């Protein structure tokens, strides 16, 4: 019985393989034929270059605009993505806000909108009566719901007052309530005066700083700046204090004025006390010496791929140390090297770490986290959020929550980008 | 920051930590030597260390792990679509483009742009203040090139392209692309033959 089954199996197998062979041969033949056809056709005739250029030209024409969406206040470039609404349009009524919630005036100049407290971005107004709205916001408004991205969804940021304008970065660091990340400041000596984008090559590892709570007494002592910022000087010569002074200058009156303004108007600065004894110690204009002396020096910009001067290690690696190790370390690791096997490179890197460098990351459990604290960003960047409004988290946004990533993208595209540009231009 | 994973909470950590603790810098040096002459690394602890490091690096864009991942992608795409025939580098000149200037907030007429009215230094300074404008310009430019020119048959029928954005010394972006072109029939058959 089993023998018969075996035979039958063999016959089936044979038939099947024969069948496969035939079909396979057929398909290979077919393939061969079509390859020959394709080969004969090759090279295929090219498209008309004029038409190609027209395509390209049309596409570029479409994106050669700067359009601000009145609803979410972001800049777009593609004209197809925007629609124009008349100021009388019913849809805009959804953007009405309670004017008591907004600490600043948000009038846009169109009486019909201002009377109803409708919040739009004034830059979106074209022809004094129409407002451009991006497609996303428009479709959301058409469903008669407030878009999560809308400025009226507790995302208003407000104009920057004169007191906070043209603060240097050092001054800003002194009045911020928290310092979320270590800052790396790179100054470079350039021979051919070829301007370059300010940048650092390689990867920057951001180690959370030990901001366990927000500062209530401001300004910060200039000596503590060295903990939150690292300055790297790239160039063959020694850094010249007179040329670099503008980057490190602190004007006492300016700091005091901005703090006073913030105390009065910024949501998160209500309970801040101005430390007059600290301020009395300051001369009216001075250069932050502590920071200046901590400058790391890189001889050659060409070697920047391998520099590790950004490593800063607190000399606290001792056995008897008790409690949390204060963590104020920022580090740069380079990963841009192709010529070697990357395993080899990692191994070598690890060895060099093993010998004399240790990075302690012991943040404890009280580090500020963005998901716990609504004031996380607004209190750290007072010049970006002068009124403390437009936080990434807001309980009043109950209906349409904004994700952190979306919130950040909206900020990057925010129409105020150009205002900052104008400001910078004035300084230059 | 959102990609932080706690490796010490894994189940296998107890075993891994023992391995890692046994490592000395001599072990690393030996492994580095083995790697240098392209031999297999014999020490299991070193392998474990490299493995966990590469798992972390795999999600970070620009890291070596990410690059080797992209290389594999490129290789498999050339298996699937056939070898690329054109190596294309597009490097839009941000400094000479009215569009980049417009995106940086200067109010100009793009169609009747008078370059002489804006000095070179002024233009470059404007662009430096607005890196995002330059990135948007680059993005729109490359999109228009791919959608309006490459896909419409600039070199013939486009099968596949694979591009990587790089940043040069001045930190402006440019893109390298490997473009595969094949007549459809030919390509479909290549697949069958390879399978």
Let me know if residue B37 belongs to a domain.
yes
Determine whether the interchain pair B99/A345 forms a contact, defined as Cβ–Cβ distance below 8 Å: no
* pLDDT for res A370: 67
Domains in chain B: how many in total? 2
User: Which residues fall within 8 angstroms of residue B5, CB to CB, at 6 or more apart?
Assistant: B56
Does ipTM top 0.85? no
Contacts of B130 in chain A (CB under 8 A): 417, 421
pLDDT-above-70 percentage for chain A: 72
pLDDT tens digits for range A342-383: 677 777 777 766 555 555 555 555 566 666 678 878 888 888
The CA distances from residue A256 to A174, A271, A345, A382, B37, in Å, are 11, 16, 50, 14, 63
In this predicted model, which residue has the larger pLDDT, A421 or A366? A366
> Does residue B53 sit in the same domain as residue B75?
no
> Does residue A382 sit in the same domain as residue A393?
no
**CA-based nearest distance B154→chain A, Å:** 6
Range in A29-38, A195-204, A396-405, B139-148 the model is least confident about = A195-204
Contacts of B71 in chain A (CB under 8 A): none
> Does residue A243 sit in the same domain as residue A209?
yes
> Does residue A233 sit in the same domain as residue A277?
yes
User: Which residues fall within 8 angstroms of residue A195, CB to CB, at 6 or more apart?
Assistant: B124, B125, B128, B170
Determine whether the interchain pair A35/B152 forms a contact, defined as Cβ–Cβ distance below 8 Å: no
Let me know if residue B23 belongs to a domain.
yes
Q: Are strands A183-188 and A229-234 parallel, antiparallel or unpaired?
A: parallel
pLDDT-above-90 percentage for chain A: 6
Q: Which domain holds residue A423?
A: 48-158+389-428
> Does residue B86 sit in the same domain as residue B25?
no
> Does residue B136 sit in the same domain as residue B93?
yes
* pLDDT for res A271: 83
CA dihedral A254, A257, A261, A267 (to 10 degrees): 60
Of A268, A274, A273, the residue nearest A387 (C-alpha)? A268
* pLDDT for res A65: 87
Determine whether the interchain pair B64/A342 forms a contact, defined as Cβ–Cβ distance below 8 Å: yes
> Does residue A201 sit in the same domain as residue A244?
yes
Q: Is the pLDDT at A400 greater than 80, yes or no?
A: no
In this predicted model, which residue has the larger pLDDT, B9 or A71? A71
> Does residue B171 sit in the same domain as residue B149?
yes
* Nearest chain B residue (CA) to A25: B193
pLDDT tens digits for range A284-325: 888 877 777 777 776 654 444 333 333 333 333 334 434 443
> Does residue A27 sit in the same domain as residue A117?
no
Let me know if residue B2 belongs to a domain.
no
The verdict on pTM exceeding 0.80 is no
Q: Which domain holds residue B43?
A: 7-57
Determine whether the interchain pair B185/A34 forms a contact, defined as Cβ–Cβ distance below 8 Å: yes
* pLDDT for res B145: 92
Contacts of A417 in chain B (CB under 8 A): 105, 130, 132
The CA distances from residue A294 to A227, A228, A310, B51, in Å, are 10, 12, 11, 37
The CA distances from residue A176 to A124, A271, B49, B96, B119, in Å, are 32, 14, 40, 39, 37
Q: Are strands A82-86 and A67-68 parallel, antiparallel or unpaired?
A: unpaired
Contacts of B62 in chain A (CB under 8 A): 203, 335-336
* pLDDT for res A310: 31
Let me know if residue B27 belongs to a domain.
yes
Domains in chain A: how many in total? 3
User: Which residues fall within 8 angstroms of residue B101, CB to CB, at 6 or more apart?
Assistant: B108, B118, B123, B126, B127
Q: Is the pLDDT at A332 greater than 50, yes or no?
A: no
In this predicted model, which residue has the larger pLDDT, B153 or A42? B153
> Does residue B108 sit in the same domain as residue B166?
yes
* pLDDT for res B139: 93
pLDDT tens digits for range A226-285: 777 777 777 777 777 777 777 788 888 888 899 889 988 888 888 888 888 888 888 888
Let me know if residue B63 belongs to a domain.
no
Of A197, A114, A162, A157, the residue nearest A415 (C-alpha)? A157
The residue ranges of chain B whose pLDDT is under 70 are 1-10, 62, 169-170, 182-195
Q: Between A31, A196, A425, which is nearest B193 by CB?
A: A31
C-alpha of B84 from chain center: 17
> Does residue B24 sit in the same domain as residue B77?
no
CA A136/CA A324 separation, integer angstroms = 48
Determine whether the interchain pair B148/A335 forms a contact, defined as Cβ–Cβ distance below 8 Å: no
C-alpha of A422 from chain center: 20
Q: Which residues pair with A287 in a beta bridge?
A: A249
Contacts of B192 in chain A (CB under 8 A): 27, 31
């Amino acid at each position: 019985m089993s023998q018969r089954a075996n035979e039958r199996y063999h016959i089936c197998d044979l038939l099947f393989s024969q069948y496969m062979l035939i079909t396979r041969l057929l398909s290979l033949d077919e393939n061969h034929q079509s390859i020959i056809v394709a080969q004969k056709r090759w090279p295929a005739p090219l498209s008309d270059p004029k038409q190609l250029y027209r395509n390209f030209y049309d596409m570029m024409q479409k994106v050669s605009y700067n359009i601000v969406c009145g609803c979410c206040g972001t800049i777009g470039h593609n004209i197809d993505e925007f629609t124009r609404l008349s100021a009388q349009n019913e849809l805009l009524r959804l953007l009405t806000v309670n004017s008591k919630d907004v600490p600043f005036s948000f009038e846009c100049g169109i009486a019909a909108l201002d009377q109803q407290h409708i919040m739009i971005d004034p830059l979106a107004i074209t022809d004094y009566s129409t407002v451009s709205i991006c497609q996303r916001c428009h479709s959301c408004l058409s469903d008669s719901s407030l878009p999560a991205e809308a400025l009226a969804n507790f995302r208003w940021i407000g104009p920057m007052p004169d007191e906070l304008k043209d603060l240097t970065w050092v001054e800003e660091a002194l009045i911020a309530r928290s310092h979320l990340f270590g800052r790396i400041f790179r100054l470079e000596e350039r021979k051919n005066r070829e301007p370059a984008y300010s940048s650092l090559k390689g990867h920057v590892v951001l180690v959370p700083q030990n901001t366990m709570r927000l500062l209530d007494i401001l300004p910060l002592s200039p000596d503590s700046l060295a903990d939150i910022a690292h300055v790297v000087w790239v160039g063959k010569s020694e850094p010249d204090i007179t040329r670099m002074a503008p980057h490190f200058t602190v004007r006492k009156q300016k700091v005091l004025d901005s703090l006073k303004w913030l105390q009065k108007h910024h949501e998160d600065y209500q309970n801040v006390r101005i430390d007059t004894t600290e301020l009395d110690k300051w001369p009216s204009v001075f250069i932050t010496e502590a920071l200046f002396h901590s400058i790391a020096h890189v001889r050659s910009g060409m070697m920047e791929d391998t520099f590790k001067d950004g490593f800063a290690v607190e000399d606290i690696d001792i056995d008897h140390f008790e409690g949390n190790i204060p963590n104020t370390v920022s580090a740069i690791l380079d990963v841009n090297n192709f010529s070697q096997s990357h395993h080899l490179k990692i191994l070598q890197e690890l060895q060099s770490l093993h010998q004399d460098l240790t990075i302690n990351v012991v943040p404890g459990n009280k580090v500020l986290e963005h998901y716990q604290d609504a004031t996380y960003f607004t209190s750290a960047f007072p010049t970006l959020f002068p009124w403390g409004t437009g936080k990434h988290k807001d309980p009043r946004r109950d209906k349409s929550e904004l994700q952190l990533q979306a919130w950040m993208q909206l900020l990057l595209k925010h129409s105020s980008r150009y205002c900052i540009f104008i400001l910078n231009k004035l300084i230059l | 920051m959102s990609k932080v994973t706690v490796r010490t909470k894994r189940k296998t950590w107890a075993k891994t930590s023992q391995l890692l603790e046994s490592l000395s810098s001599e072990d690393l040096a030996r492994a580095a030597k083995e790697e240098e002459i392209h031999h297999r690394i014999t020490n299991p602890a070193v392998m474990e260390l490299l493995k966990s490091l590469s798992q972390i690096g795999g999600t970070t864009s620009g890291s070596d792990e990410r690059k080797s991942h992209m290389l594999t992608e490129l290789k498999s795409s050339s298996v699937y679509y056939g070898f690329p025939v054109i190596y294309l580098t597009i490097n839009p000149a941000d400094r000479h483009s009215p569009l980049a200037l417009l995106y940086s907030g200067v109010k100009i007429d793009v169609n009747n742009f008078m370059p002489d009215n804006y000095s070179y230094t002024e233009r470059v300074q404007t662009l430096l203040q607005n890196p995002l404008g330059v990135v948007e310009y680059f993005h729109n430019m490359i999109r228009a090139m791919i959608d309006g020119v490459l896909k419409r048959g600039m070199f013939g029928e486009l099968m596949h392209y694979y591009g990587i954005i790089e940043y040069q010394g001045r930190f402006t972006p440019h893109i390298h692309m490997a473009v595969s072109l094949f007549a459809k029939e030919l390509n479909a058959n290549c697949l069958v033959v390879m399978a």
